[in-house]
Structure 1
Amino acid sequence: MVKVRVKYFLWLAEKAGCSLEEVSLSNSSLLSLLEHIKASRPRLSRIIESIIQSRSEVIVLVNNVSPKTLTVELKEGDEVVFMPPVSGG
């Protein structure tokens, strides 16, 4: 099992019902984490599905780096961040 920290920012935290959580995974890929969140956080399911299908503007970072693929392996203590797109004026 691998335990990772997950952070949700702005309106994603509201939909998730929290801004921070720790998730334990038996399969440690980013895709496995996304599937876990999709199943455990129903209000995020459509957003997570759009991330899986590469149709989302939500920014996903693993240890402050944008992963090139969803098959990236997560390690104990990694931090995964979900941020909505930011626009300014």
Structure 2
Amino acid sequence: MVKVRVKYFLWLADKAGTSLEEVSLTNPSLFSLMEHLKASRPGLSKIIENILQGKSEIIVLVNNISPKTLNLELKEGDEVVLMPPVSGG
């Protein structure tokens, strides 16, 4: 089991019902984390599905780096951040 922290920013925290959670994974990949979040956070299921399909503008960071693939292996203590794109005016 690998434990990772997941942080949700802005309106994603409202949809998730929390701004921070710790998730234990038996298959520690970013893809399996997204599958877990899709199943465990109904308010995020459509958003996560779009991330899995590569059709989302949601920013996903692992330890402050944008991963090139969802097949990235996660390690104990990694931090995954989900945040909507930021726009300014």
TM range, smaller chain: over 0.9
Aligned to 1:30: 30
The list of structure 1 runs, each at least 4 consecutive aligned residues, that deviate by more than 6 angstroms after superposition, is none
Sequence identity of aligned pairs in percent?
80
Unaligned runs of 5+ in 2: none
Aligned to 1:83: 83
Aligned to 2:72: 72
Which SS does the other structure have where 1:55 is aligned? coil
RMSD over aligned Cα atoms: 0.3
Q: How does 1:55-66 map to 2 (within 5 A)?
A: 55-66=55-66
TM-score normalised to the size of structure 2? Answer: 0.99
> Number of matched residues?
89
Unaligned runs of 5+ in 1: none
